Amino acid sequence: MIIRHTPIGIAALLATLVVPWIASAQAESKPNILWIITDDQRPDSVSAYNRLVYGKDESPLGYVESPNIDKLAAEGIMFTRAMCNSPACGPSRGSMHSGRYPFRNGHYAFELTHQNPDFIRPVVPQILREQGYATATFGKDDPYIYRWGPGQGFHDPGFYDVRVHNKHTLQRNGVGDFATLESFGKGGYLGKTEVVYYPDGSQRTYFLKRKDGKPTEDDLAAVAQTDNELEILRSYTCGGIKSLVFGGVNPKPAADTADAHIATAMKNYLANAGRTYKTLWGEETQGADTTKPQFIHLGFHFPHTPVLPPKSFRDRFKTKNYRVPEFDRQELAKLPPQLVRLYESCKVDGMTEAEKQQAIQDYYAFCAHGDAQIGVAVEAFKAYCKAANQEYLIVFTVGDHSWHLGEQGIEAKFGPWGQSVANAAILVSSDESLVPAGGHDDQMIEFVDFAPTMLQACGVDLQDPKYDFLDGVSLFDVLGGTAPKREYILGEIHLVAGPRAYMYTDRFRFSMRSRPFPGQVNEQNFGKNIKWALEAPIEKVDLALYDLKHDPLERNNVANDPDYRELAAWFRSKLGNIILGDGRVECDWSKANSYVISDFAKGADDKQANIPEHLIP
């Protein structure tokens, strides 16, 4: 079944099917929920996505493998235009967990946010726990929402009854493959280290950066050994961090990688339901609570750096020849200074052709390895639900944001371009009358939609005023044709090049600098000069506008072209009033309850574009 913009007949059918199930989702009938999120995954690493969008298995760059995700997509509906609300891990995951835009939860970067301010509302696992769910997370969750200590810090907020984190649990207990870790000793912070985990159980640790100066000769020799052993490709052309691993071979076999252990940890938790068992690192713990419905958050590391596919997968990809994305430095001449700084920080166009090939080969090989682990986890989840005779819902967020492999000249996220922001999502239910198998929806959806989707699935009444803080809409309502019409998506990020917000419509992609300061919101600048992006000279606001009708790859910024200037000014006003004046939160997170809410344009976020026709060339 293909659903494109939800034809009326199917919309009516879905509306009649979904409502009774949601209404009856009480106590024992509440479905088990599995929410899968991968890290930095491009949607074109999934063949099922490529078939729907490009009409072939391959991505525009070349060969990919994803049999398990393809199978999952065939069991439900794939959303091929799922847009993240901030193209960086922390703010994107914070937005998904809270169901709120970054400008409404005050979370724009890697701030250590917490739940003490009185504008805060509960996040997804807290609400599901109130609904009777057992909550568990495996791998990377990292919404950067912590507990107020008292005082700011990395204090576990206790969202999950069971938490097996990829770094803080697995790697700290010697279960992993390759890690970059901040090192601490009796005297405090020591520096940044790399740890290589070998199949025989041994480890090798060395500093990439020491607190008191540059790495020692021994450190440099250890790095060289690693680079030689694992055929490492580092981010040496980037103006920012030069030690990121863009390619190489994993020191562990496929069954023993970090992502394999994440899948195994979840599998063991379910397989030992109702009894104690030993974890991968030998600790006794309790399996799933069979008296409650399960909410499981499963956060895979792949294909985030370090990009290290295991040899068995890498060997299949290293012979493939990929089409390297086109980029011409003349494109920079039309970019505003803020986006030029982003390019300079993350640029890879200076790499050799062989290095560019390796970066792409290893990235897609890593995604293929991750696909296998998703297969393991999904089958374990289904087996648990079958044994318990329980319904289930699977929400798969294909990447917490996307990733450039040379587009715009960079290898990174962080940008306002589609290659940073545009992703995909899959929704599957054990009851196909609720989510028809083999479906495709190409409406624009947002990552803030996942929260209300899962809450509605467990019986939460989204019309209850206590949930009016949610910025998204339930995907069940999207499919049923009952969601309010949405003509644009929104996002904001304050990382790498500074504060920037974006708005997408079907045809146009617009972004601008949102705040005058170069870094993050802090105790000196929060809430000050809030209208700057609307009132400053236009050249200071660093506008970018792409017309997808003529430039689908976003290579020609037309914001300053005579034919588009008035349109760019219209977008500046539309986006600026929404993200600066319709419930914007800026918080001093170093304090218990210190924040500003800006409401000078309340109601501006009306979800209607209504671009004046005379402005469109």
Q: Look at residue 163 in the predicted model and tell me its pLDDT.
A: 97
Q: What's the burial of 464, exposed, middle or buried (CB within 10 Å: 0-12/13-18/19+)?
A: exposed
- What count of Cα atoms within 13 Å lies in the side-chain half-sphere of residue 614? 0
- pLDDT range class, residue 10, cuts 50, 70, 90: very low
Average pLDDT in the 156-170 region? 95
- pLDDT by residue (tens digit) across 426-438? 999 999 989 999 9
- pLDDT range class, residue 11, cuts 50, 70, 90: very low
Q: Are 479 and 14 in contact (CB under 8 A)?
A: yes
Q: Look at residue 596 in the predicted model and tell me its pLDDT.
A: 98
User: Is the model's pLDDT at 468 over the cut of 60?
Assistant: yes
Q: Look at residue 575 in the predicted model and tell me its pLDDT.
A: 99
Q: Look at residue 188 in the predicted model and tell me its pLDDT.
A: 87
d(CA 422, CA 407): 13
Q: Look at residue 28 in the predicted model and tell me its pLDDT.
A: 53
| Sequence-ordered list of residues with C-beta below 8 angstroms from that of 25, at least 6 positions apart, any chain | 31, 457, 458, 459
Quickly tell me which residue has 């937005």 as its tokens: 95
d(CA 231, CA 245): 10
- pLDDT range class, residue 282, cuts 50, 70, 90: very high
Q: Look at residue 149 in the predicted model and tell me its pLDDT.
A: 86
Q: Which residues of 334-371 are buried (b: 16+ CB within 10 A; e: fewer)?
A: ebbebbebbbbbbbbbebeeebbbbbbbbbbbbbbbbb
User: Is the model's pLDDT at 301 over the cut of 70?
Assistant: yes
Q: Look at residue 22 in the predicted model and tell me its pLDDT.
A: 43
Q: Are 74 and 438 in contact (CB under 8 A)?
A: yes
Give this prediction's pTM: 0.95
Task: Compute the mean pLDDT over every residue in the chain, rounded to the nearest whole number.
Answer: 94
Length of the chain: 617
Q: Look at residue 415 in the predicted model and tell me its pLDDT.
A: 98
Which run of H or E residues covers position 543? none
- pLDDT by residue (tens digit) across 24-71? 333 358 999 999 999 999 999 999 999 999 999 999 999 999 999 999
Q: Look at residue 150 in the predicted model and tell me its pLDDT.
A: 86
* CA neighbor of 419 nearest in space, from 409, 407, 429: 407
- pLDDT range class, residue 183, cuts 50, 70, 90: confident
Q: What angle do CA 339, 343, 345 make, to 5 degrees?
A: 115
Q: Are 520 and 91 in contact (CB under 8 A)?
A: no
DSSP per position, 10-31: HHHHHHHHHHHHHHT--GGGPP
Average pLDDT in the 552-580 region? 99
- pLDDT range class, residue 276, cuts 50, 70, 90: very high
Which is it for strands 392-398 and 32-37: parallel, antiparallel or unpaired?
parallel
- pLDDT range class, residue 187, cuts 50, 70, 90: confident
Range from 73-87, 169-183, 361-375, 556-570 carrying the lowest mean pLDDT? 169-183
Q: Ramachandran region of residue 144, left (φ > 0), alpha (ψ -120 to 50) or beta?
A: left
Q: Could you give the percent of the chain with pLDDT greater than 90?
A: 92
Q: Are 590 and 613 in contact (CB under 8 A)?
A: no
User: Is the model's pLDDT at 81 over the cut of 90?
Assistant: yes
| Sequence-ordered list of residues with C-beta below 8 angstroms from that of 453, at least 6 positions apart, any chain | 395, 427, 472, 474, 475, 476
Quickly tell me which residue has 């984190």 as its tokens: 165
Range from 27-41, 319-333, 501-515 carrying the lowest mean pLDDT? 27-41
User: How many CB atoms neighbour CB 278 within 10 A?
Assistant: 11
Average pLDDT in the 459-476 region? 97
User: Is the model's pLDDT at 9 over the cut of 80?
Assistant: no
User: Is the model's pLDDT at 363 over the cut of 70?
Assistant: yes
Helix axes 89-98, 450-457, angle to 10 degrees: 30
Q: Could you give the percent of the chain with pLDDT greater than 70?
A: 95
Which is it for strands 508-513 and 500-504: parallel, antiparallel or unpaired?
antiparallel
Euclidean distance between the first and final Cα of the chain, in Å? 36
d(CA 146, CA 120): 12
Q: Can you say whether the dihedral through the CA atoms of 347, 492, 123, 374 is positive or negative?
A: negative
User: Is the model's pLDDT at 543 over the cut of 90?
Assistant: yes
Average pLDDT in the 99-113 region? 97
- pLDDT by residue (tens digit) across 367-414? 999 999 999 999 999 999 999 999 999 999 999 999 999 999 999 999
- pLDDT by residue (tens digit) across 198-248? 999 999 999 999 988 889 999 999 999 999 999 999 999 999 999 999 999
Q: Between the CA of residue 392 and those of 25, 81, 401, what are the distances in Å?
A: 12, 24, 25
Q: Look at residue 263 in the predicted model and tell me its pLDDT.
A: 99
Q: What's the burial of 484, exposed, middle or buried (CB within 10 Å: 0-12/13-18/19+)?
A: exposed
The dihedral over CA atoms of 439, 445, 451, 455, expressed in degrees to the nearest 10, equals -50
Q: Look at residue 589 in the predicted model and tell me its pLDDT.
A: 97
The dihedral over CA atoms of 371, 376, 379, 385, expressed in degrees to the nearest 10, equals -120
Average pLDDT in the 452-459 region? 97
Residues paired with residue 546 on neighbouring β-strands, in sequence order:
509
Q: Are 527 and 509 in contact (CB under 8 A)?
A: no
Q: Are 385 and 430 in contact (CB under 8 A)?
A: yes
Q: Look at residue 501 in the predicted model and tell me its pLDDT.
A: 99
Quickly tell me which residue has 């929410």 as its tokens: 35
Joined together, the tokens standing for residue 53 give 């969008």
Joined together, the tokens standing for residue 355 give 């290095």
